Amino acid sequence: MGRSTIEDAMDVVKGHTSLKCVSKYYNIFLTSLLSHISGRTITRKMGLQGVLTNEEDGTIATWVLNMQMVGLSITLQQFKLKGVEITN
């Protein structure tokens, strides 16, 4: 997944470009950019945290891709059962 706009803007500022120029270029409020750089605002991911571990997620993704490669479709029930199988 790509980097966020605010992270890109912060990197440009660290490269000694003025805050005002960077905020105009990336269309970010100057105060927001300054808050992120100073550490008053923390960049965090949006949405819910995952239920599966990275290993479990990779295992189920590999299973789905393998099923797709051999031309088999997966029902929702099969997917749920595989999830239970992997997590136990």
Percent of the chain clearing pLDDT 90 (strictly above):
34
Q: Using CA atoms, how far apart are residues 45 and 42, in angstroms rounded to an integer?
A: 10
Answering whether pTM is above 0.95, one says no
Supply the range of the domain harboring residue 65: 54-87
Query: pLDDT band for position 60 (50/70/90)?
Result: very high
Residue 11 lies in a domain: yes
Residue 65 lies in a domain: yes
- Given a cut of 90, whether residue 70 has pLDDT beyond it is yes
pLDDT tens, residue by residue, 21-41: 888 888 888 888 888 888 787
Q: Using CA atoms, how far apart are residues 54 and 52, in angstroms rounded to an integer?
A: 6
Q: Which of 43, 2, 8 is nearest to 17 (CA)?
A: 8
Together in a domain, 10 and 34: yes
Residue 48 lies in a domain: no
The domain tally of the chain equals: 2
Residue 30, pLDDT score: 87
- Given a cut of 90, whether residue 77 has pLDDT beyond it is yes
Residue 17 lies in a domain: yes
DSSP notation for 47-78: SPPPSS-HHHHHHHHHHHHHHHHTT----HHH
